[in-house]
């Protein structure tokens, strides 16, 4: 998305009602997709002479695919490597086709996709519903079917479509047109849309039910950057707008709060745990943007937390929400298919020591007579069986306690005490 540039917008009535006819039909994203995306960490670094190890070239993407394959990521579901802006030449070829930059991608995109596939990794690519991309590379306008046919021929498995340098008033027709073009290729290509973000930026109405019919995942808010302020800004937007777009999320279509920056430069250990826990409760696509070649063991442990990933990948596919705020203490909950609840206690107090936080079981759907098994998803242990509530101390400045609550017939007992 980056800096928004748009053509003059004519007054139009946005599409407010639409049928399923012509909807995206690829059977993908039954749970939130996972993988690695280049943008936040490496952005549009094309200077491979000065910075060969960190520029956008085929070796960077092969390196990330290798790490996904060899370091335990693929078996956990992190099985995609995604290009973003700046992969192509500045102009199309004489036949009007997109061409990968020959110096940075000398073997071409099809070869890169094939090499990644050998590792069990799928390749995603980026384009823009505009005359040019955000960074000035060729856009899709006037070439939609040709370009998606090219991507299918190359073996691409995901397409992210941005919206810079575009007429926002035509997006309600344009993004579905791209989806129909993808359907025509006959190849299942996961479709990521930036459509709602640009409508919001232009104060145009958004029919999220229609968006969910046309896209597998979609962006609603600003690009993430490597800062806690950016992470909490996204969290606040998703908390405040759950009624607007949270309820349309489900198998096949998910809201995308943007990339995981765990393992980059800004987040503390507790803040990294918080981003992971909240993104999992949100049923968010989990696309890391970091350097997997030198990620810390601590960051890797957070991102590979199998119990939190199970919350994110729960087949019910419900987007969780913030259900209570007490001062700067927040409580988030996501219902799971087996009837249990994932709960995150999130302490945003920016000063002082840890604070006591309490989950009232009635607030998350249990009856007053039910006993509840409480499991800590970061400690990987059952804390005990409780009735009515559970309390824990939570660190300040972004600390979380992530729990799974399950009804049980076992007697009340405590195995591990968070109050120590």
Active site residues: 162, 223
CB-count exposure of residue 50 (10 Å: 0-12, 13-18, 19+)? exposed
Q: How far, in Å, CA of 255 to CA of 202, rounded?
A: 19
Which H or E run includes 48?
none
Q: How many CB atoms lie within 10 A of CB 212?
A: 22
CA atoms within 13 A on the CB side of 113: 16
The residues near 9 (Cβ < 8 Å, ≥ 6 apart) are: 167, 168, 169, 202, 204
* Strand pairing category for 341-347 and 399-408: antiparallel
Q: How far, in Å, CA of 365 to CA of 347, rounded?
A: 22
3-state secondary structure (DSSP) of residue 381: strand
Determine the length of the chain.
Answer: 420
Hey, what are 367's tokens?
């009856």
CA-closest candidate to residue 289, choices 54, 89, 130: 54
């Amino acid at each position: 998305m980056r800096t928004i540039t748009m053509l003059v917008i004519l007054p139009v009535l946005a599409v407010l009602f639409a049928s399923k006819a012509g909807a995206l039909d690829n059977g993908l994203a039954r749970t939130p997709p996972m993988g690695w995306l280049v943008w936040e960490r490496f952005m549009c670094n094309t200077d491979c002479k000065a910075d060969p190890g960190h520029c956008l070239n085929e070796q960077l993407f092969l390196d990330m695919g290798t790490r996904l394959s060899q370091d335990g990521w693929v078996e956990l579901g992190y099985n995609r490597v995604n290009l973003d802006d700046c992969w192509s030449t500045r102009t199309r070829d004489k036949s009007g086709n997109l061409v990968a930059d020959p110096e940075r991608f000398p073997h071409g995109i099809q070869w890169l996709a094939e090499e990644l596939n050998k590792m069990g990794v799928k390749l995603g690519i980026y384009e823009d519903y505009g005359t040019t991309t955000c960074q000035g590379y060729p856009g899709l306008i006037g070439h939609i079917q040709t370009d998606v046919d090219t991507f299918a021929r190359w073996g691409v498995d995901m397409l992210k479509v941005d919206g810079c340098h575009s007429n926002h008033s035509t997006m309600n027709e344009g993004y579905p047109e791209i989806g129909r073009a993808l359907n025509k290729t006959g190849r299942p290509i996961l479709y990521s849309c930036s459509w709602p973000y640009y409508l919001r930026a232009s104060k145009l109405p958004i029919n999220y039910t229609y968006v969910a019919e046309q896209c597998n995942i979609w962006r609603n808010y600003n690009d993430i950057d490597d800062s806690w302020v950016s992470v909490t800004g996204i969290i606040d937007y998703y908390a405040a707008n759950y009624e607007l777009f949270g309820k349309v999320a489900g198998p096949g279509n998910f809201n995308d709060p943007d990339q995981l920056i765990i393992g980059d430069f800004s987040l503390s250990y507790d803040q990294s745990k918080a981003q992971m826990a909240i993104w999992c409760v949100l049923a968010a696509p989990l696309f890391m943007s970091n350097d997997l070649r030198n990620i810390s063991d601590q960051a890797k442990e957070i991102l590979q937390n199998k119990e939190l990933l199970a919350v994110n990948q729960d087949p019910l596919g419900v987007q969780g929400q913030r259900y209570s705020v007490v001062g700067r203490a927040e409580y988030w909950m996501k219902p799971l298919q087996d009837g249990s609840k994932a709960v995150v206690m999130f302490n945003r107090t920016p000063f002082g020591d840890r604070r006591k936080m309490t989950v009232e079981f009635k607030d998350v759907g249990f009856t007053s007579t039910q006993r509840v098994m409480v499991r800590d998803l970061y400690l990987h242990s059952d804390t005990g069986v409780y009735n009515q509530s559970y309390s824990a101390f939570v660190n300040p400045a972004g600390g979380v306690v992530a729990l799974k609550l399950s009804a049980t017939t076992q007697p009340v007992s405590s195995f591990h005490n968070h109050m120590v």
